[in-house]
Structure 1
Amino acid sequence: MWLHHQVNCSVHLFLIKEDNILLLKRCNTGYEDGKYSVVTGYLNPGEEIKAAMMREAREVVGIKLIPEDLDFVGILHRHDVEDRVDFFLTAAGWQGKVTNREPETCDELKWVPIFQLPDNMVPFVKKAILNFRNGILYDSYGWD
């Protein structure tokens, strides 16, 4: 008998401008509130990864992305509250002004130097950014 294990997937955007990365301070989510993360969201059933990232960028920070501008820069297999595969992407460009479109779950947007990340970050996101800086495409988190 075959047992199938379902894993949830998330997409995360490293939006970078002049060696600064856009961070969002989480609030009222029940998960890592008060810590910084990046534009992120769930992959909906039947949704392709780049399409999910474009949707989330529009919903969360009001920018328009096109598939050709998105590049995969990392995958993290995470064991946290549930098993999850996180896909990390960068955008070569975007249209629109970055604005906080979800103030109920994000109380701050800020650009920070990618080599001077704050201490109060969602731990797996910080690890993924460090991996990106070091050219590490795949890693795992929380399996120890």
Structure 2
Amino acid sequence: MSDHRHNAIAYAAIILERADGAVLFMERKDTGFADGLLALPGGLADPGEMLVEACARETKEEVGADVAAADLRTAFVSQVLSETGTPVIGWYFHATRWAGDPVNAEPDQCARLTWLDPTALPTDVESTDAAAVRAWHTKSRPTLWA
């Protein structure tokens, strides 16, 4: 009997919301995925790492902000297929509290940071991240399966 199980890629991202309601995005560059598009801070979980821990780590690595795992709330969950057909589970967290001013902490992979109004996202926002922000903001369907 063959084993039909497969490993999925686990991805954690953050909807970092400023007091005025704006959300932080990064313009990706030289990463091999969604380069030139605006995306939420986030990345792949390391082996054995919980998604909430991955989100806090990636937030610190990418934008220099310290967010406590206890301050992260699930905002959206997605499952999509990568270009190679591998399932990617995206877990999106929301936070309104963090320490430090966000900065471009990875200038080799990020062209710039920008704060965007979640009700008026531009067309150059990565599609899954745009869906996550819209669903979180409108408190609509919490998951995306594509």
Q: TM-score, with normalisation over the residues of structure 1? A: 0.93
Question: Which residue number corresponds to residue 14 of structure 1?
Answer: 15
* Counterpart-to-counterpart distance in 1, 2:99 and 2:137: 25
Map 1:27-38; keep pairs closer than 5 Å.
27-38=29-40
What's the secondary structure of 1:96's corresponding residue?
coil
Question: Which residue number corresponds to residue 65 of structure 1?
Answer: 67
Question: Which residue number corresponds to residue 93 of structure 1?
Answer: 97
Map 1:1-144; keep pairs closer than 5 Å.
1=1, 2-17=3-18, 18-81=20-83, 82-135=86-139, 136-141=141-146
Sequence identity (%): 23
What's the secondary structure of 1:95's corresponding residue?
coil
Q: Which runs of 5+ in 2 are unaligned?
A: none
- Between Structure 1 and Structure 2, the one with more strand by share is 1
Alpha-carbon deviation of 1:118? 1.1
After superposition, the CA RMSD in angstroms is: 1.1
Number of residues paired by the alignment?
141
What's the secondary structure of 2:56's corresponding residue?
helix
What's the secondary structure of 1:56's corresponding residue?
helix
What's the secondary structure of 1:77's corresponding residue?
strand
Q: TM-score, with normalisation over the residues of structure 2? A: 0.92
Alpha-carbon deviation of 1:80? 2.6
* Counterpart-to-counterpart distance in 2, 1:7 and 1:114: 29
Kept after mapping to 1: 8 A contact 2:10/2:51: no
What's the secondary structure of 1:32's corresponding residue?
coil
Instruction: Spell out structure 1 runs of 4+ moving beyond 6 A.
Output: none
* Counterpart-to-counterpart distance in 1, 2:22 and 2:96: 13
Alpha-carbon deviation of 1:3? 2.5
What's the secondary structure of 2:144's corresponding residue?
strand
